[in-house]
């Protein structure tokens, strides 16, 4: 049926009608007082969501643009970089550093695992020459949440800067930027922030500014000093995505009205129900409960059944889109996103359709077992 679609991938995610309406307002000039006011308002709200008093820049580009901004402004050719990798996006962050000529020490913790703090401690003790450390808050390719507080506690004792990719975690999983001591945090609009793709956000600490201002790598569109030059007037260096700014203001209002604690609790509940349902159906989860993401759940396809065959049935017959596996997990897992504009009944729809699709591809499933497990979580019947 036309328009009856359920987008359950980790970005882009569904956008609330209120946000769509805000984005449909008449355009305003980006050098106007109205825009300056909007910009200031957004940064004020982002400070609450990101728990920081650092400078916050809203950039007009996708999430990778904020990662490149972080690298271009802190890494010179030959600099030593420690990359903590737990999947595809950790690899991407490392690859950007390599593109800027860094000597990247890549530590791969394995897809499905989180960062082992002991290894980080050893690495930092063995070599005091790292200029930056790269970490991923929520590894979207595997549904793993990393312990950024723990990593930051180790890195902040060294001269190195901690750069965090929070593209899919911010808005779903709490991030205490200042309390933990994260120097640069990157995120983007189209994941848990409930907006279409098009904006990214980056925060810059005092410690980071000292490095940024001295950096020699080529930078123009991604120059933080250029953004900073006009920041005090609530201007942007180049034309911003004005409609997206209008949408971001509305999306942040929605999140703050719900209350950030409630937003995080909702994500935790959705993750818990999804995991309980998958387990009840006899499916294996990629990540252990201990480091499971609250933003999305990665599920192994049953033995002998291609994950993409399940996804095809879901898409064609039920209008539901789950994400597939990336890189080495292609065809082996499917990923159910429950981030941003997502609530209990989205999970019920996803799980009931999953049960039917599993039955259709030949997996023996007792219909209703996954649905029941999720319902019991929502009714508070599970510890």
Chain residues binding ligand PLP by CB under 6 A are 10-11, 62-64, 89, 136, 140, 165, 167-168, 188, 191, 197
Burial 203-238 (b: 16+ CB within 10 A, else e): bbbebbbebbeebebebeebbbeebbeebeebebbe
* DSSP string for 10-67: SSS----HHHHHHHTSPP--TTSHHHHHHHHHHHHHHHHHHT--SEEEEESS-HHHHH
- Cα atoms in the Cβ-side hemisphere of radius 13 Å centred on 146: 32
Which CB, 71 or 374, lies closer to ligand PLP?
71
- Shortest reach from residue 141's CB to ligand PLP, in Å: 8
- Shortest reach from residue 186's CB to ligand PLP, in Å: 8
- Shortest reach from residue 82's CB to ligand PLP, in Å: 18
- Shortest reach from residue 92's CB to ligand PLP, in Å: 6
- Shortest reach from residue 335's CB to ligand PLP, in Å: 11
- Shortest reach from residue 93's CB to ligand PLP, in Å: 7
Which CB, 114 or 165, lies closer to ligand PLP?
165
Dist CA 203 CA 70 (whole Å) = 9
Which CB, 136 or 294, lies closer to ligand PLP?
136
Which CB, 11 or 302, lies closer to ligand PLP?
11
Q: In what order do the strands lie in the sheet with 80-85?
A: 55-59, 200-204, 184-188, 161-165, 130-136, 80-85, 103-108
Dist CA 44 CA 173 (whole Å) = 19
- State which H helix or E strand residue 334 sits in: strand 333-337
* Residue 90 DSSP one-character state: H
Contact between 344 and 317 (Cβ < 8 Å): no
First-to-last alpha carbon distance for the chain, in angstroms, is 39
Dist CA 203 CA 212 (whole Å) = 12
Which CB, 150 or 197, lies closer to ligand PLP?
197
- Cα atoms in the Cβ-side hemisphere of radius 13 Å centred on 49: 32
Which CB, 89 or 363, lies closer to ligand PLP?
89
Strands (E), 208-303: 296-300
- Shortest reach from residue 364's CB to ligand PLP, in Å: 34
- Shortest reach from residue 326's CB to ligand PLP, in Å: 10
Contact between 346 and 299 (Cβ < 8 Å): no
Reference 336, options 328, 352, 327, 361; nearest CA is: 352
Q: Does 335 show up as a binding residue in the annotation?
A: yes
Which CB, 66 or 375, lies closer to ligand PLP?
66
Which residues partner with 107 through β-bridges? 84
Which CB, 14 or 197, lies closer to ligand PLP?
197
Give the residue ranges of the annotated binding site for substrate. 335
The binding site consists of 335
């Amino acid at each position: 049926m036309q328009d009856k679609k359920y987008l359950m991938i980790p970005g882009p995610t569904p956008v609330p009608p209120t946000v769509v309406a805000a984005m449909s307002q008449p355009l305003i000039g980006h050098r106007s007082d109205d825009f300056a006011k909007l910009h200031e308002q957004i940064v004020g709200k982002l400070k609450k969501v990101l728990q920081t008093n650092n400078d916050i820049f809203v950039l007009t580009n996708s999430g990778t643009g904020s990662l490149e901004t972080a690298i271009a402004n802190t890494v010179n050719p030959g600099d030593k970089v420690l990359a903590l990798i737990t999947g595809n996006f950790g690899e991407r962050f490392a690859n950007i550093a390599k593109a800027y000529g860094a000597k990247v020490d890549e530590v791969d913790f394995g897809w499905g695992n989180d960062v082992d703090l002991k290894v980080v401690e050893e690495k930092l003790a063995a070599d005091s020459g790292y200029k930056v450390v790269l970490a991923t808050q929520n590894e979207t390719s595997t549904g793993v949440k990393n312990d950024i507080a723990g990593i930051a506690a180790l890195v902040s004792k060294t001269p190195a800067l901690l750069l965090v990719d929070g593209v899919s975690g911010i808005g779903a999983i709490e991030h205490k930027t200042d309390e933990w001591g994260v120097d640069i945090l990157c995120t983007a609009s189209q994941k848990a922030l409930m907006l279409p793709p098009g904006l990214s956000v980056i925060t810059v600490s005092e410690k980071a500014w000292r490095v940024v201002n001295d950096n020699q790598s080529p930078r123009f569109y991604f120059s933080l000093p250029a953004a900073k030059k006009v920041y005090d007037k609530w201007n942007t260096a180049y034309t911003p995505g004005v409609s997206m700014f209008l949408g971001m203001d509305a999306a942040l209002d929605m999140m703050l009205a719900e209350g950030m604690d409630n937003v995080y609790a909702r994500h935790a509940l959705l993750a818990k129900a999804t995991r309980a349902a998958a387990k009840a159906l006899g499916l294996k989860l990629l990540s252990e409960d201990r480091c499971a993401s609250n933003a999305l759940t990665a599920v192994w396809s049953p033995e002998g059944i291609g994950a993409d065959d399940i996804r095809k049935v879901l898409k064609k017959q039920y209008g539901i889109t789950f994400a597939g596996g990336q890189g080495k997990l292609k065809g082996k897992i499917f990923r159910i996103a429950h981030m941003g504009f997502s609530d209990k009944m989205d999970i019920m729809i996803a799980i009931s359709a999953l049960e039917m699709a599993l039955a259709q591809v030949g997996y023996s499933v007792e219909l209703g077992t996954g649905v029941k497990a999720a319902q019991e979580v929502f009714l508070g019947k599970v510890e």
